[in-house]
Amino acid sequence: MGRRKGADMGRLEGKAALVTGGSGGIGSATLRRFAREGAALVCADLQQESGEKLVAELNAGGARAVFRRCDVGDFDQVQAAVETTVSEFGRIDILFNNAASSSGGYTADLDLEEWDRSLRVMLSAALYGMKAAIPHMERQGGGSIVSTSSIYGLVANPGIAPYCTAKAGLINLTRTAAVEYGRKNIRVNAICPGVVETPMFDAVLSMGLKSREQVADMHALGRTIQPEEIADLVLFLASDESSAITGQAIVIDGGLLSSCDLTGTPPAA
């Protein structure tokens, strides 16, 4: 990562960031965005091949990045990823809790082991990251924690109770940590994406219940969201530009939740 000076200095210059679920759609877009802004990076993911390939790409572009294989459902592995960040770069300024994995099914039919696993990966894992990273952030004078919730942390959909429950819990974990550590200069926020063009969305489309065009038409913008647009929001929350923002769950959904159309009235031509 080459040092940039003056007006060209990156918005994350001198900061170190850990991104879980780093090789996925939102994770990889965010790591690339962070790299362009000067951050030193740890990509944590279970998918070793894709994670190492991404890190090689980042380093070839002039970043300082390392890969850490990590099952975020295991506290010891999350703690090890945090310690890797500190040992490699001397600090951890940004923690992006982004990993996700969820089973489905109607509530009364859920497999209880899959339920527990989903909550560990999407809710407990964020707590694990906070528990491991916050002491370092306290000692160094502050930091920013961002977690990926979802619009399904705010509304429900049949057949995905583990996902909806974990994402809703993540929002209030975010608020709680924000009020606990705000005076330590540690900001904690969540993002609530809508439909993002990632492999997870492709998996939903493969069920054949709605077409890509039908889903796009549900949005006020008339389109779905790109991972890079999510990365821009995460960058803002990670940077000093959002220094007064904490305890928030910020929706980024192209206007999907803004409409409840009962009349069929078309949007303006």
116-148 pLDDT, tens digit per residue, is 999 999 999 999 999 999 999 999 999 999 999
267 vs 175: which has the higher pLDDT: 175
Q: Write down the architecture of domain 13-194+227-252 according to CATH.
A: 3-Layer(aba) Sandwich (3.40)
Rounded distance, CA 5 to CA 173, Å? 38
Whether the CB-CB separation of 49 and 73 falls below 8 Å is answered with no
Give the pLDDT of residue 9. Answer: 67
- Give me the active site residues, please: 163
DSSP letter assigned to residue 21: T
Residue with tokens 């940590």: 177
| Reduced DSSP (H G I as helix, E B as strand, rest coil) percent helix, strand, coil of the chain, to 5 | 50, 15, 35
CB atoms within 10 A of CB 216: 15
Give the chain's mean pLDDT.
93
Domain-wise residue ranges, the chain: 13-194+227-252
Closest listed residue to residue 96, CA positions, set 181, 195, 29: 29
Q: Residue 7: which pLDDT band, with cuts at 50, 70 and 90? A: very low
59-104 pLDDT, tens digit per residue, is 999 999 999 999 999 999 999 999 999 999 999 999 999 999 878 8
Helices and strands (H, E) in the chain, number of each type: 9, 7
Q: Residue 1: which pLDDT band, with cuts at 50, 70 and 90? A: very low
Q: Average pLDDT for residues 2-18, to the nearest whole number?
A: 73
Whether the CB-CB separation of 88 and 42 falls below 8 Å is answered with yes
